[in-house]
Chains A and B, each alone.
Chain A
Amino acid sequence: MAFLDIVILDDKKNEISSIAIDSQTHQDLIQIVGPAYKYPYIQRLQDFYKDAKFESPEVENLRRELAQFRLVLDGANSHSFEGKNNVIRFLKDFEKLCEKAQSLSLEIYCISD
């Protein structure tokens, strides 16, 4: 199975912390997240096979967007699909990763397969 690794790296490119999203959960996320104007930071993950990056000053906005989308997804009965719990779990983990990146003032890299 392919993965998009979302990582915090130190200045020597060693991993400090990471999470991963598999291709199925990624597909569910992108299908449901909607148009880019609503969640522009999450939409940056749209291409599963292309890298993405969140600069340090962008991480707070990303974290807010993840939390907002998670609350919408968690509360809406209309968003009912098989992999919903996996998407919500991923969003929670990603929020925690953002908090860690913020505490260290580091960027977040999304590294594709």
Chain B
Amino acid sequence: MIEIDDLLGSKAIAKGLVKASSVAITAVVVKQATKEIKPIIKMTKDGLMHAIERHTVNELSQFVKKSKFLENVNIPTLIQKANQVNPVSQPNGRLAWVVDAGTNSGVDRVTNQPTQLYTVITESTGELVTAFPGLP
């Protein structure tokens, strides 16, 4: 026969379990939300200039060895498009956004071949640092 105290005790235990589960579920949800939060890439004048002067075909001879974007691509548009992918944290705290452009967007200096892949580097808060064809 179940005593009234047993019932109250079970109720208390059940309540405790529900509360503990609730805390655990909240922790998981918060963790997942933190994981998914990513900054929006913020175009900066310095970052854009850095990318354009190095990674476009131009007369600046000191950058001749760098990987180059193709002449028909719009670099600011490529940079904005990187918002569609999830960035990867770099050891220095910056973020690398590796994007497949779908068509050739540049020439990789290692292979000297056209590549669809390009990388956008931002600060952890999203400010543009640079962008270049190929992988980081």
A positions within 8 Å CB-CB of B: 1-3, 5, 7, 9, 12-15, 18, 20, 23, 27, 31, 47-49, 109, 111-113
CA separation between A18 and B109, bound complex, in Å?
15
B92 touches A113 (CB 8 A): no
Contacts of B136 in A (CB 8 A): 1-2, 23
Of B60, B62, B64, B132, which is within 8 A of A2 by CB? B132
Any A CB within 8 A of the CB of B102: no
Q: Which residues of B contact A (CB under 8 A)?
A: 50, 54-55, 60-67, 91-92, 94, 109-110, 119, 121, 129-130, 132, 134-136
Give the one of A13, A14, A20, A109 with max B CB within 10 A: A13
Q: Is the CB of A113 within 8 A of B62?
A: no
For residue A18, which residues in chain B have a CB less than 8 angstroms away from its CB?
65
- Please give the distance in Å from B69's CB to the nearest CB on chain A: 12
Given A2-B119, A2-B132, A3-B109, residue A109 in contact with residue B67 (CB < 8 A): no
Contact A13 B60 (CB under 8 A): yes
Question: What is the CA–CA distance of A86 and B110 in the complex, to the nearest angstrom?
Answer: 17
Choice from A15, A23, A112 contacting B64 with Cβ under 8 Å: A15
Assess the B92–A48 pair: CB atoms within 8 A: yes
How many Å from the CB of A82 to the closest CB on chain B?
Answer: 15
| Nearest opposing residue in chain A for B119, CB measure | A2
Contacts of A109 in B (CB 8 A): 62
Q: Which of A12, A20, A49 has the most CB of B within 10 A?
A: A49
Q: Which residues of B contact A14 (CB under 8 A)?
A: 61-62
